[in-house]
Structure 1
């Protein structure tokens, strides 16, 4: 081996050529996109275990424990119903406003929690990142899976609310599954985008609550966005209609609630849902991968 090294050293080969000959790579170098996808897949058990541990530990100090996974959006829905439904009377012209509101709040909470968790996925885990070698995309993906698990508990409660308010069970309820799966892909991509931004911009976690609150008001969570059509220019109102959060919320409402008002036809909503999932999900993964070698440094 020593003789080979001596021979190589005297052969006039450059360092890069010598490294290539012996299969050496730069420590911490970014892998190819295909190799990175394989790495993330190979860590799927770590991702699911980490996500489950995060879900359990999130409310470990609370007396009611994981019940808060459901109680938090349920309490928010009750407060919003009092303010917007009763006091401001936004429930007019919206059939079954209680179920309409609960669907909006529960689905919005899924994205809100994934976004906030994604923003802190890198900056909040620097010790883990610097101690262990693993694909860093595991962290924002695990954050999204944690919130997906919470959503499943919330959806069980939502079914009870929808049935209690007089909605019948029908085959369209099955459409909730692909709608939520597309939304999960979208949320994962968004979490990865914000994880990379949050790793460099430490103020992101202070800014994002205001961004999410504004996004909520523009997504038809608390009232029908038809209100915007009455108060905004036509072009701006059309931009509101392609808002991804509004699209996913309306798909779930369309599946679970009869006679719910929609801003666009169901086929258009499905096309938008698929487009947002592909663009943000795939684009977010590529954007995060391009910064892989930067995370945890500095």
Structure 2
């Protein structure tokens, strides 16, 4: 005979009510908690970046020192590399293609263009890999990510200072006298650095999402160099070719790379006259610097919380 037992229905322990999203936010705020890796406000981001200024300077100096540490000539290559580039361009463009015709002081003209262009080119190339090439640092430490592209631009500026010392010697050897206008090189370099840093931050965000862009940039920059008057005079070209389309002249003259190159030529080379510059050149140079610098900084900041993830 079987016995049937009535089993009481199972009882469930009471569970705590799950707080709503608003309650969670209030609870986190009450205990001083914040979202991990959240993007700070723009003013706060600027303050954090300023607080890391010593890190930015030290990081750029360390990268510059280590750049040629394995070479026997060491830091001499910081000057030799742009000088060798200038020598190659002189042979190909100045001698073979005769772009030096009608350009006074062509060697100082060419070397100035090569040095100033190299500053922009190297800054943008380094900025493109600033995040994607330093993922270990980005993922390991918490700091404003804009520190990286800015530090790379500062590294290139430091390298340019070595080149400028060599450029001063070249100017004197080729009979270009020291003049008060050389002081104009300082504001020109400040504007160019601001422009370079802004473009580098734009490319750093693009390169962080699409690392393959780093393989494309050398071709883009090479094309940009050829239309920036590095090896030839834009003013001389426009005066000799009246049949060019009307839009070519303004595009070539308002090209930011050409603007900064010609500003430096105007500052350092006495035969390069103000008439060879586009109208309102300082205003244009400032506009490019502000547009790229401020716009690039905000564009980079908007993706701050995404760098190093995925």
TM-score range, shorter-chain basis? over 0.9
Tell me the secondary structure at the aligned position of residue 280 of structure 2: helix
Alignment counterpart, residue 114 of structure 1, candidates 118, 123, 127: 123
Does structure 2 retain, via aligned residues, the 8 Å contact 1:250–1:262? Answer: no
Query: Given the alignment of the two structures, is residue 286 of structure 1 paired with residue 298 of structure 2, yes or no?
Result: yes
Alignment counterpart, residue 52 of structure 1, candidates 43, 49, 61: 61
In 2, Cα distance between the equivalents of 1:72 and 1:114?
15
Greater Rg by CA: 2
In 1, Cα distance between the equivalents of 2:172 and 2:278?
22
- Which residue in the other structure is 2:24 paired with? 15
CA positional deviation for 1:70? 0.7
The alpha-carbon distance between structure 1 residues 176 and 15, as it changes in their structure 2 partners (threshold 3 A), is same
CA positional deviation for 1:265? 3.9
CA positional deviation for 1:184? 0.6
In 2, Cα distance between the equivalents of 1:246 and 1:11?
58
User: What RMSD in Å do the two structures reach over aligned CA positions?
Assistant: 1.9
- Which residue in the other structure is 1:147 paired with? 156
Structure 1: runs of 5 or more not aligned: 1-8
Q: Deviations over 1:16-44 (max 9, x none)?
A: 12222333211110000000000000011
Query: Given the alignment of the two structures, is residue 256 of structure 1 paired with residue 262 of structure 2, yes or no?
Result: no
- Which residue in the other structure is 1:127 paired with? 136
Alignment counterpart, residue 34 of structure 2, candidates 15, 25, 33: 25
In 2, Cα distance between the equivalents of 1:26 and 1:268?
48
Q: Deviations over 1:57-88 (max 9, x none)?
A: 11111111111111010000001001111111
Tell me the secondary structure at the aligned position of residue 14 of structure 1: helix
Q: TM-score, normalised by structure 1?
A: 0.93
The alpha-carbon distance between structure 1 residues 240 and 10, as it changes in their structure 2 partners (threshold 3 A), is closer
- Which residue in the other structure is 1:234 paired with? 246
Structure 2: runs of 5 or more not aligned: 1-17
Does structure 2 retain, via aligned residues, the 8 Å contact 1:137–1:192? Answer: yes
CA positional deviation for 1:13? 5.8
CA positional deviation for 1:232? 3.2
- Which residue in the other structure is 2:183 paired with? 174
Tell me the secondary structure at the aligned position of residue 234 of structure 1: coil
Q: TM-score, normalised by structure 2?
A: 0.90
Tell me the secondary structure at the aligned position of residue 233 of structure 1: coil
In 2, Cα distance between the equivalents of 1:263 and 1:160?
26
CA positional deviation for 1:236? 2.6
